[in-house]
Amino acid sequence: MLRFKDVSVVYEDGEEPALDSLSLSVEKGEFVCVLGRSGAGKSTFIRTINGLQPLTAGNVNVLGYDVRLLAEKKLRALRSEVGMIFQHFHLIPRMSVRQNVYTGRFGQKPPWKNFLGIYTAEERKLADYYMEEVGLLPYAERRVERLSGGQKQRVGIARAMVQDPSILLGDEPVASLDPTTSDHIFQLLRQLHEERNLTTVINVHDVGLAKKYASRIIGLKNGRLVYDGSPIDMSENDLAEIYE
C-alpha cells in the first residue's frame, strides 16, 4: 500500500534533514498514528505520501506508483485516491457545508464542471451520506464560518471521504481542538476506518489518543524511525526515546 525506501528530505542545504533515510511499509487496512516532537518530521512524512513534499533522496511508492516519477497529471490522479485532513481545516469559510464537501470531488471531474457546480445524482447522494456519517447533514446549507472547530473538522473529514479514497491521511487533525472534541473526531475516524477497512495514517501529538485508537504507532525523532509497533507494546522507555 505504502512503501518508503531510504527517504530523505532536506529543505535547505546545510540544514538537518526533516526525514533521514526513512524506510517502512504500511499495509492495507492499518490505522497508523505517527508520534514525535515538533520538528520530528511528522508533517513532512505525511506530505511525501501524496507528493505535496518533494523528496531529496529515496523512493515513496503509493498504491503501486513511485510518487517521485509521476508527471503532474498522474500525480493529480493519485491524489484523488488519497484523502487528506488538515490541522487548520482548509475550508472555504463563506461557502456552505455542502459546497465544501463537494470540493472533495474536484479530482474526479473536469474543471469546467467544478466551476459550474455540476454534480451527478450519485455525487450528491455520496455527499449526503458522508454529511450524515459525520453528523452534519442538518447543517448542510450553513456557512462553514458559522461552525465550531469540531464541526469544521467534520466537514474536512466528509470532504476527504467523498473522494472515495484508498488511503486517508491526517496532518495533526485535532491539534486545534479541545480534548473532548479530539476524542470524538478520533472515534469518527476509527469508525470510518473499520467500516471500509480504510488505510489511515495520522499525525498526532496526543499519546493517549494514539494508544487508544491506533493499531500501530510510528515514532519519529529528528527524521528517523525510533519506534514501530503496537500501542500495547509501547513502553515508557519507548516514549522517552521519541520525546527526549
Q: What is the mean pLDDT of residues 36-59?
A: 95
Provide the whole-model pTM.
0.92
Whole-number percent of the chain with pLDDT over 70 = 97
Q: Residue-wise over 1-14: b if at least 16 C-beta within 10 A, else e?
A: bbebeebebbeeee
62 pairs with which residues across the strands? 2, 65
Q: What pLDDT was estimated at residue 237?
A: 95
Superfamily of domain 27-50+81-243: P-loop containing nucleotide triphosphate hydrolases (3.40.50.300)
Q: What is the pLDDT of residues 15-35, one digit of tens each?
A: 889 999 999 999 999 999 999
The pair phi, psi for residue 166, each rounded to 5°, is: -85, -25
Q: What is the pLDDT of residues 175-205, one digit of tens each?
A: 889 999 999 999 999 999 999 999 999 999 9
Q: Residue 226 in contact with residue 45, Cβ under 8 Å?
A: no
176: exposed, middle or buried (Cβ count in 10 Å: 0-12, 13-18, 19+): middle
| C-alpha to C-alpha distance for 137 and 130, rounded to whole angstroms | 8
How many CB atoms within 10 Å of residue 208? 12
User: Where do we find the cell 496526543?
Assistant: 206
Q: What pLDDT was estimated at residue 115?
A: 65
For the chain, what is the mean pLDDT?
93
| C-alpha to C-alpha distance for 67 and 78, rounded to whole angstroms | 9
Residue spans of the domains in the chain: they are: 27-50+81-243
Q: What is the pLDDT of residues 87-116, one digit of tens each?
A: 889 999 999 999 999 998 887 766 667 666
| C-alpha to C-alpha distance for 233 and 219, rounded to whole angstroms | 13
Whole-number percent of the chain with pLDDT over 90 = 82
